[in-house]
Amino acid sequence: MFGWQGKTYRKILDNIPDGVYLVDTDKKIQYWNRAAESLTGLTSTETIGKTFDQINIGYEDEVGTALEAFEHPVALCFQEKKPVNKNLFLKIENSAIPVEESVTPVYENGKITGVIATIKNITKCIKTVTAHLKAEKKERLIPICGWCKKIRKENDYWEKLEDFLVEDGFGVFTHGMCPSCADKI
């Protein structure tokens, strides 16, 4: 399928910091670089010649739903006959690693002979973006009523503080009563 076995190409792929793997038309892994080993914890010996169904790796979408086999980026690439890029969670045992996976078909004489895929751990990128968004949130002014604590939104609409915080990603609130307020009753 991938008619090269040259040491130079292998050396290049083994030194790329992102996971790289090759899959043939039988959906069997033909190459698995060192970064793929490091990211997944699976050696090339454990993966080469096997399909993804045969190795202990799963994928989840952004809400934590496990991908079916036909939703796997490799399967989609073979189906659509064009590059597929996905942000997913790589599930290995009890951990979920955010990754960007790009899969591109390899053609020979106009026919797909396999796909080449890269897996990039995007944990650092997510942390950087999260820190930036958090810093931006700290800098903004939020108009709040000094009496009822409602938040002024667009068009002079006033929203309950709890609703504003839920909408802004601070979680879901429950209501109770603190000891000081309970003493006033």
pLDDT for 70-124, tens place per residue?
999 999 999 999 999 999 999 887 889 999 999 999 999 999 999 999 999 999 9
- Domain housing 109: 7-124
Q: What is the pLDDT of residue 165?
A: 81
Within a domain: 183? no
Residue 106's pLDDT is 96
**31/104 same-domain check:** yes
Indicate if 85 and 167 belong to the same structural domain.
no
**What tokens does 135 get?**
């810093």
- For 128, half-sphere exposure in the C-beta direction (CA atoms, 13 angstrom radius) is 4
Q: How many CB atoms lie within 10 A of CB 111?
A: 9
Domain count, the chain: 2
> In the chain, which stretches have pLDDT less than 50?
1
Q: What is the arrangement of strands in the sheet containing 29-32, beginning at the earlier edge strand?
A: 29-32, 19-24, 111-121, 95-108, 84-92, 58-60
144 and 108, same structural domain?
Answer: no
